[in-house]
Structure 1
């Protein structure tokens, strides 16, 4: 790979332009991770070694790595090296250059997207749950009762519900939505006035999942998200 920037077309050509060097390097690094079977937390070669492998300078390689770090695909640890990040297999990726500021409007779209996806996920969770999944759902419920500064790991109920479905693709979609739209998620949480009701609705979903009642789990999840949608847009 020669180190030369690919020319970018003029106004209106962004969708048709060739990939930049840093984009091609980022893609090559993801291919390397896949080809070598690396997983989250596994170390990558040093920046210098990666630069030599791709025939670019270390600063150019660092730029590509920073691009991947912005999406959690890799993690740069100061004084330690480069590691595979937690977001390397996500199906949706955040845009680190996003300039969107209307998070309330996006929060409504997020709830509507979840209304389409999550009731069916809850039904699958009721059909495929196991003891480990039920335990994590219980921990996620317990998380909601903690103080925000509690140092213990915080589990998200809806993420764990997707994990309990047994469908990796659905889990990745929910995980990606929660990560990519983290600001909108925070907006939603601030809008929830009745925290006890929110907790009780999650508890009812868990009871249905534990009982293996797919219809109830689906219905309760839909009602829960409809209530959340009403909170965001009462009219």
Structure 2
């Protein structure tokens, strides 16, 4: 198989994903070396490395120094982030907040009704993340709202919330910059956790909606670059 120069690394990246799927490789499995992939697709090794860097940016593969290239956790995601999107705008950040307002209050109510002990413990542990500064990476740390979705007991809801944060990772970083009162953020997370722990579905839903509404208001009031208005 050979390629024209147009979108070479992009198309090669797609074919590497197909190899991962056809060979049923999962997170942590080793991938063929760059040299082997170059021979297989009749391209240069630098072209393979560029394709792998594209996949690394979305978590589909991981580089381990001195060990090789491995399948990453992103291979199982239904949605993948585009690392080449333009910088976040007020509108794109608000899109994320509005999407979260649609799904997360209902998820919080379901979590309060479900109350799986292990998931509730993880939710309490995740609540402290609000105290730390936002990360500038597309790779997200364990997140309170992902843990909240996991506590619902519905794997698809957890994947949906996780995908929102992954696909709109830059917007989530912007949210944490604009909603930057760490103590307030943490206190609101603790209130949501306590409602879930106590099995108060109505309170969990209301508190989550109020929390996200406050975030939306902060984004609306924040200053964004003039070009993004």
- Pairing of 1:1-235 with structure 2 (within 5 A): 1=1, 3-5=2-4, 20-102=7-89, 104-145=90-131, 155-192=142-179, 194-234=181-221
1:212 shift after superposition:
2.9
Q: Deviations over 1:124-146 (max 9, x none)?
A: 32233422211111111133345
Say which structure is richer in helix. 2
Give TM-score scaled by structure 2 length.
0.81
Task: Kindly indicate whether the alpha-carbon contact (under 8 Å) linking 1:22 and 1:63 is maintained by their aligned counterparts in 2.
Answer: yes
Q: How many pairs are equivalent? A: 218
Runs (5+) with no aligned partner, structure 1? 8-19
Q: Deviations over 1:195-224 (max 9, x none)?
A: 333222211211222233333322221111
Change (3 A) 1:91 1:79: same
Q: Is the 8 A contact 1:139 1:155 kept in 2?
A: no
Deviation of 1:177 (Å): 2.4
TM-score (norm 1): 0.79
Q: For structure 1, which segment, 128-137 or 52-61, has the greater mean C-alpha deviation from structure 2 after superposition?
A: 52-61
Larger relative contact order, structure 1 or 2 (CA cutoff 8 Å, min sep 6): 2
